[in-house]
């Protein structure tokens, strides 16, 4: 059970039923993808963000950063006023999130995008993408969910550090999660994290959702 009052890392296998796992894979593997030269459209390891968080340039974790192009499909983005009606409604994911939390919370979706990373066999086994946060550290009650669309290599690393502790002198790994079709991981949105480009599988496909969490108002039957 997910408890959003405790800022932990939650891992849920079979987040959606098998029939929907098949549907998501078939749908998201045939998108008209947008090409991005780098994880966030930048080839310089998100230098702007790393500099903003005052990352120590001598931090040893920076030596393992390797990124290449990826393909992205942005289904929903509240701040950019993007909502693609022909796509799977991102509320689909929040319906199942409600089921996994017994309807105890209200969710305010902020963004839903799908990332496809292709095989990079020349990368080191110790390599990973640049540590980052999805929406920065300015939004209270912000959480991130990553849903794995397919089985692949390319672990997700979640670090203990957040931008609140500037300058960030070091990165320490809190969790290392392997992709598994149907698996979802949910964690506080201010937590540094990163993915890993697959070096064995042909592709790594994930749905990346960002949302705000508020306690649900208890339902009361109307008085007659």
User: For the segment 161-186, what is each residue's pLDDT rounded down to a tens digit?
Assistant: 888 877 777 889 999 999 999 999 99
Q: Answer yes or no: is 80 within a domain.
A: yes
Asked if residue 165 is part of any domain, the answer here is: yes
Sequence-distant (6+) residues with CB within 8 A of 136 are: 163
Residue 222 DSSP label: P
Is residue 141 one of the residues assigned to a domain? yes
Judged against a pLDDT cut of 90, whether residue 203 lies above it is answered with yes
Q: Residue 221 falls within a domain, yes or no?
A: no
95-125 burial, b at 16+ Cβ within 10 Å, e below that, comes to: ebbbeebeeebebebbbbbbbbbebbeebee
Q: Is 134 a domain residue? A: yes
Domain limits for position 143: 10-214
Question: Per-residue pLDDT for 41 more than 90?
Answer: no
In a domain, 222, yes or no: no
| Percent share of the chain, pLDDT over 90 | 40
Across the chain, what does the average pLDDT equal?
Answer: 82
* CB-count burial class (<10 Å; 0-12, 13-18, 19+) for 177: middle
| 223 located within any domain | no
Q: pLDDT digit string (tens) for 70-99?
A: 777 777 777 777 766 556 667 788 889 989
pLDDT at 17: 94
**Structural domain includes residue 3:** no
Please, which pLDDT band fits residue 187 given cuts at 50, 70 and 90?
very high
Tell me the CATH number at 18: 2.60.120.620
- How many domains does the chain divide into? 1
């Amino acid at each position: 059970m997910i408890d959003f009052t405790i800022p932990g890392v939650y891992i849920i296998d079979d987040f959606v039923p098998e029939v929907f796992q098949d549907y998501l894979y078939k749908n998201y593997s045939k998108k008209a993808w947008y090409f991005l030269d780098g994880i966030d459209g930048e080839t310089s390891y998100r230098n702007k963000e790393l500099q903003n968080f005052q990352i120590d340039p001598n931090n040893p974790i920076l030596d393992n950063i390797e990124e290449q192009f990826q393909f992205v499909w942005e289904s929903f983005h509240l701040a950019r006023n993007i909502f693609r009606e022909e796509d799977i409604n991102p509320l689909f994911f929040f319906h199942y999130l409600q089921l996994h939390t017994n309807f105890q919370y209200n969710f305010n979706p902020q963004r839903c995008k799908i990332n496809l990373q292709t095989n990079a066999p020349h990368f080191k086994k110790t390599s990973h993408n640049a540590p980052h946060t999805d929406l920065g550290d300015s939004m209270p009650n912000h959480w991130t969910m990553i849903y794995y669309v397919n089985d692949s290599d390319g672990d997700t690393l979640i670090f203990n550090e957040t931008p609140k502790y500037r300058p960030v002198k070091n990165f320490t790994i809190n969790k290392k999660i392997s992709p598994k079709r149907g698996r979802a991981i949910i964690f506080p949105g201010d937590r540094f994290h990163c993915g890993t480009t697959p070096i064995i599988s042909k592709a790594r496909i994930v749905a990346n959702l960002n949302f705000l969490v508020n306690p649900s108002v208890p339902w009361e039957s109307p008085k007659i």
